[in-house]
């Protein structure tokens, strides 16, 4: 364990003795992607070691953490709305307010926090999250504000405590940062360049999770198929090694980049029986013109060729994707190319986004930004196509038997259990709570837009 982390454990112990017998609570508000959620699990892990326990009600929190994301424009409004609401709470209860994550790497956001929200206690960035115990200690001891942001690429810190939110599925970050600089994306500016964790650290973490009873692992990174675990050890090798770990039943990963999808990775997906056969392959646009302006390094044709190659080599492979509608200068013809790819690939799931400008990115400075009404009109046409495809695609599940890891009770109906097919479709069915975290066979009886309904045929 690095000295810096040992030092943080000392701060954790000091805070724990300050907090002794006070029954203090924490609340974490997490924005954005699974990587951020994984970071929040580490923040929760540190807070629990300091003697705080979780509350879902921020009004009862002694410390409120906001783990921010800056990928979407409306995230800023959302954050400032939430921080505004904290003022009264701060005055009434003295709640410690800490804001961290990607948005804190943006200068204009930090300035706004200083000017308009002076009651915020701690501001920390993406490279200093591991120092949260020290930051909290300074606030408790000296009652002074702390700003802890660095702009150089952070190191990888192993050994932080973690409090996972789920008992059957776990996310494991395999790399940090991104080198791709897609022109619409702020991530490389706020998360820095790519840094891969050591393969031993990843594999040991997963072995530990397997021992703790976790059955499904999602490998996380901004660009997982650029994973670099040393000489001749890339993402394909990592998938093969994770596949060998006993008691892990399902392996998923998010997100790969189409330009880095090597034949080695395709073969590893084919050969590894635990690796899910749904591939998330972010398209972003179906137009080669737009893809060039996005700096994505593939064309429409190359994307479709890759899909065909995978369909040929990996039995039963299916795809999900991300699409941005209304990128600057996107013409009607460009948009039709996107619809064309959607028709051809028949994705199982499409995460659709309306392009939103991010300060500091090249796309924000491009001329010919698309008017909002055109963006929305295109978005609705894409949504209509995607939904009609999903509806007809879901029908193919009816009558099939799906192996499902039971994740828990359905959020919408606590009398039902829920899990996912290999292709990541939500399935709900009746069953006893004892089945949670076991793998069972479910026969699909009916399809609905966002889920399938089934019945257990054995257990």
Q: Which residues are at the interface with ligand SF4 (CB under 6 A)?
A: 178, 180-182, 185, 187-188, 222-223, 257
Q: Decide if 174 contacts 224 (C-beta within 8 A).
A: yes
5 CB neighbour count, 10 Å cutoff: 15
Say how far apart CA 290 and CA 355 lie, in whole Å: 12
Measuring CA to CA, how many Å separate 142 from each of 135, 137, 145?
11, 8, 9
Using the minimum distance from each CB to ligand SF4, give the nearer residue, 188 or 431: 188
What is the residue whose two structure tokens read 């009873």? 213
Return the HEC string of 73-96: CHHHHHHHHHHHHHHHHHHHHCCE
Say how far apart CA 202 and CA 214 lie, in whole Å: 15
Q: Which two tokens stand for residue 166?
A: 């789920």
**Which string of b and e fits 55-87 if b means at least 16 CB within 10 Å?**
eeebeebbbbbbbbbbbbeebbeebeebbeebe
Nearest approach in angstroms of CB 15 to ligand SF4 is: 34
Q: Which of 385, 388, 318, 306 is nearest to 348 (CA)?
A: 318
Using the minimum distance from each CB to ligand SF4, give the nearer residue, 46 or 182: 182
Say how far apart CA 284 and CA 294 lie, in whole Å: 9
Terminal CA-to-CA distance of the chain, rounded, Å? Answer: 43
């Amino acid at each position: 364990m690095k000295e810096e982390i040992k030092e943080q454990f000392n701060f954790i112990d000091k805070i724990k003795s300050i907090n002794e017998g006070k029954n203090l609570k924490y609340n974490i508000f997490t924005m954005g992607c699974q990587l951020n959620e994984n970071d929040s699990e580490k923040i929760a892990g540190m807070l629990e070691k300091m003697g705080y326990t979780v509350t879902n009600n921020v009004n009862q929190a002694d410390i409120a953490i906001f783990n921010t994301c800056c990928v979407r424009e409306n995230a800023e409004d959302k954050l400032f709305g939430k921080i505004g609401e904290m003022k009264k709470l701060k005055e009434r209860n003295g709640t410690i307010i800490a804001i961290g994550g990607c948005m804190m790497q943006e200068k204009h956001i930090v300035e706004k926090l200083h000017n308009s929200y002076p009651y915020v206690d701690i501001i920390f960035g993406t490279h200093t999250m591991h120092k949260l115990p020290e930051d909290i200690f300074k606030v408790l001891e000296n009652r002074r504000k702390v700003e802890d942001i660095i702009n150089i690429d952070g190191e990888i810190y192993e050994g932080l405590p973690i409090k996972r939110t789920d008992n059957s599925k776990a996310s494991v970050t395999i790399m940090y940062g991104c080198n791709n600089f897609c022109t619409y994306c702020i991530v490389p500016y706020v998360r820095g360049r790519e840094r891969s964790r050591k393969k031993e650290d990843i594999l040991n973490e997963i072995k530990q999770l397997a021992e703790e009873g976790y059955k499904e692992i999602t490998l996380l990174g901004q660009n997982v198929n650029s994973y670099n675990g040393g000489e001749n050890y890339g993402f394909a090798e990592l998938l093969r090694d994770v596949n060998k770990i006993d008691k892990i039943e399902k392996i998923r990963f998010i997100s790969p980049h189409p330009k880095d999808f090597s034949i080695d990775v395709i073969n590893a997906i084919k050969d590894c029986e635990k690796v899910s056969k749904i591939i998330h392959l972010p398209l972003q646009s179906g137009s080669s013109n737009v893809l060039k302006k996005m700096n994505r390094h593939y064309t429409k044709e190359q994307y479709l060729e890759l899909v065909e190659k995978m369909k040929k080599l990996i039995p039963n492979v299916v795809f999900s994707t991300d699409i941005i509608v209304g990128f600057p200068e996107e013409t009607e013809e460009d948009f039709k190319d996107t619809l064309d790819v959607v028709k051809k690939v028949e994705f199982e799931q499409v995460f659709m986004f309306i392009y939103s400008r991010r300060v500091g990115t090249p796309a924000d400075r491009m001329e010919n930004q698309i008017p909002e009404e055109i963006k929305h009109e295109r978005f609705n046409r894409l949504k209509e196509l995607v939904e009609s495809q999903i509806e007809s695609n879901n029908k193919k599940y009816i009558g099939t038997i799906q192996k499902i890891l039971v994740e828990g009770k359905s959020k919408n109906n606590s009398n039902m259990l829920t899990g996912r097919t290999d292709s990541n479709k939500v399935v709900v069915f009746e069953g006893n709570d004892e089945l949670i975290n076991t793998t069972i066979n479910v026969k699909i009886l009916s399809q609905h837009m966002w889920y399938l309904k089934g019945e257990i045929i054995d257990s």
